[in-house]
Homo-oligomer: A and B are copies of this chain.
Amino acid sequence: MTPHRTTTTAAGLDAEQLRWLGELSRQLRVDSIRSSTAAGSGHPTSSLSAADLMAVLLARHLRYDWARPEHPGNDHLIFSKGHASPLLYAMFKAAGVVSDSELVEGFRRFGSRLQGHPTPVLPWVDVATGSLGQGLAYGVGIALAGARLDRLPYHVWVLCGDSEMTEGSIWEALDKAGFYRLSNLTAIVDVNRLGQRGPTELQWHLDTYQRRVEAFGCRAIVVDGHDLSQIEQAFHTARGADTPTVVLARTVKGKGVPEIEDRNGWHGRPLPPEPAEAAVAALGGPRDLRVSPPPPAPVDPIPTPVAASIPMPRYERGTRVATRVAYGEALAALGVRDDIVALDAEVGNSTGADRFAHAHPEKFFEMFIAEQQLLAAAVGVAARGYVPYASTFAAFWSRAYDFIRMAGVSGVHINLCGSHAGTEIGPDGPSQMGLEDLAALQAVHGSTVLYPADAVATTSLVATMADISGVCYLRTTRGAYPVLYDTDERFPVGGAKILRASDADVVALLGAGVTVHECLDAADALTGEGVSARVIDLYSVKPLDADTLARAAHDTGGRLVVVEDHYPQGGLGAAVLAALARLEIPARCAHLAVTELPGSGTPAEQLNAAGISARHIIAAARRLVAAQP
């Protein structure tokens, strides 16, 4: 047994263990300095403060098979303070999975996987971090999976910065950790007193942090973050605790390089080459210690899920069903699949998710009104291989937009449902209307954006979402509208449905969701006037069915009316115009969208006032047809 590798016990560290861990922490410091100085950018001082914490964690507590990052029993390590990436990558070197040359020559370089902030391009990184206050929230999600879903004995360790403790998302995370009693979660707060531009709000008031953490239902352990024995004891206690633990570590920013210790002005700033060389020499020069960390607990092989046809809800054409209701019914049916999980932010009786909660209570997580944690929990369980469906009002996904953006960076597969979209919700007023969600969600890297018009399309898309990738967003409608499709109709992502068409079409009406119904009404009325209008259901907003669009433009002399229950910017109209431009399809596009701030009213009054109801579509179509092509 190497000195640093012992079974974790409550006993203190002996002299040899302390000596070895001291060597390891110096190696982590040296490598943090070397990589950032070589890159000419990065955050060495934020790495130096946490080096002792991470040395003890890596060598003695992080149960991890470094040769098998996919091992289901591996612990999880998240750097919520993602800017301390030099330290994380130095740990990877000490674990033997990143070479010294990759570390020093690759850090922050173009094409390198050792990016400025960690992302899952590295197999030992679960989630991208770098937007502060997020890593702990993801850790809660992973710990939730361990405690309630796969029930494996891994532990989740999250290294937080003290600056990020002012983010509300940290307190959403600790609140949920406490509520779900996630004893498999340990947050380690590197309280180094200095933020980017000066002292943090609470500086070294560890007692205030302690009171806050404890009030939120977690156990707090205060340590000197440079005392290896105190750290050892804290991590040992944390792993054995019956509540989530927050280790509050008093540290010194820049620790190990006396010239910059606890000095302002050194955040995000590498040491210049000469001082770096001196600092490295003073720390004993480069080393190549390797840790042999404790292995993960053995776990039973995870059974391969049996692929089976799942009976999904069926709907009769013409019956009136809200797509939010269909979402819940489809999700409840899909829940027989072991990997399907659902979450909601205290509005499950509105979004439809309560149907899943009733059918599969063990796989439903109530996140109460905390949309950032809702999103992060979805990401966390997805990182464990589950397929989460998270729902709230479309408007309120804006609360989690930074997390959604970062999920796009992580490349994780999560399914989001936003209900009560648009002015159609009626009397509740603009605070409850999602009118910018299509813009926000389309702009997320790798996203898919779906907006079904009826219950059949919703059902099909909910099932399809289980097996795609990236951030997938489904927009649903509050009110009940007629089922438009036969119950076995399929709705591939990237497709569209032509609901009315003839060789005589002189205009095409393009809608999605609720406006499809308005388009159908408009087409019927136009037919009565002798104007033949094609109606297209663009249920897949991103990716958009450009072929169907091109055909419609070709067949109608380029006369298109696109209508959406959304602000004019970045929504369905923008997607249509982008597709037309990309394919260089000549067209004249009348775009009807919500231009004025709505108030209260009935759904019909709202659609009318917004200029997106059938009569406005009719008027727009008439204008296009009347004008010369």
Contact = CB atoms under 8 A, between A and B. Distances in A.
A46 to B, nearest CB: 13
Given A195-B346, A399-B131, A600 B167 contact: no
Given A41-B427, A445-B567, A164 B574 contact: no
B601 A110 contact: yes
B197 A347 contact: yes
Interface in A191-205: 195-197, 200-201
Interface in A282-337: none
A432 B410 CA distance: 13
A613 interface: no
Copy tally for this chain in the complex stands at 2
A212 interface: yes
A167 B172 contact: yes
A596 to B, nearest CB: 8
A442 B569 contact: yes
Interface in A428-486: 428-432, 435-436, 439-440, 442-446
Contacts of A575: 569
B405 A132 contact: no
A314 to B, nearest CB: 27
A113 B399 CA distance: 26
A494 interface: no
A578 interface: yes
Interface stretch (A4-12, A19-27, A245-253, A366-374): A366-374
B401 A130 contact: no
A29 interface: no
Interface string A85-118: 0000000000000000000000011111111110
B110 A599 contact: yes
A546 to B, nearest CB: 14
Given A369-B164, A443-B440, A444-B436, A428 B116 contact: yes
Interface string A186-228: 0000000001110011000000100110111100000000000
Contacts of A179: 201
B197 A175 contact: no
Contacts of A108: 427, 429, 600
A109 B168 contact: no
Interface residues of A, number: 111
Interface string A29-70: 000000000010110000000000000000000000000000
Contacts of A401: 398-399, 401-402, 440
A400 B289 CA distance: 44
User: Which of A117, A170, A427, A584 has most B Cβ within 10 Å?
Assistant: A427
Nearest to A445: B597
Given A111-B599, A208-B215, A442-B569, A584 B588 contact: yes
Interface stretch (A348-356, A377-385, A495-503, A525-533): A348-356
Contacts of A606: 110
Interface string A560-592: 000000011111011101100110101011010
Contact of A175 (B115, B129, B201, B573): B201
A243 interface: no
Nearest to A571: B443
B130 A429 contact: yes
Given A132-B369, A402-B399, A432 B116 contact: yes
A443 B577 contact: no
Nearest to A575: B569
A82 interface: yes
30 contacts: A41-B426, A110-B600, A113-B599, A116-B428, A128-B431, A129-B431, A168-B168, A168-B372, A195-B346, A195-B368, A197-B346, A197-B349, A197-B350, A214-B215, A395-B405, A398-B401, A401-B402, A401-B440, A409-B430, A435-B443, A436-B440, A439-B439, A439-B442, A439-B443, A439-B569, A444-B567, A445-B567, A577-B577, A577-B578, A582-B591
Interface of A: 39, 41-42, 82, 108-117, 119, 121, 128-133, 163-164, 166-172, 175, 179, 195-197, 200-201, 208, 211-212, 214-217, 346-350, 354, 368-373, 395-396, 398-399, 401-402, 404-406, 408-409, 411, 426-432, 435-436, 439-440, 442-446, 542, 567-571, 573-575, 577-578, 581-582, 584, 586, 588-589, 591, 597, 599-602, 605-606, 609
Q: Across chains A and B, which 4 residue pairs bring their CB atoms closest together, nearest first?
A: A168-B168, A130-B431, A570-B570, A110-B601
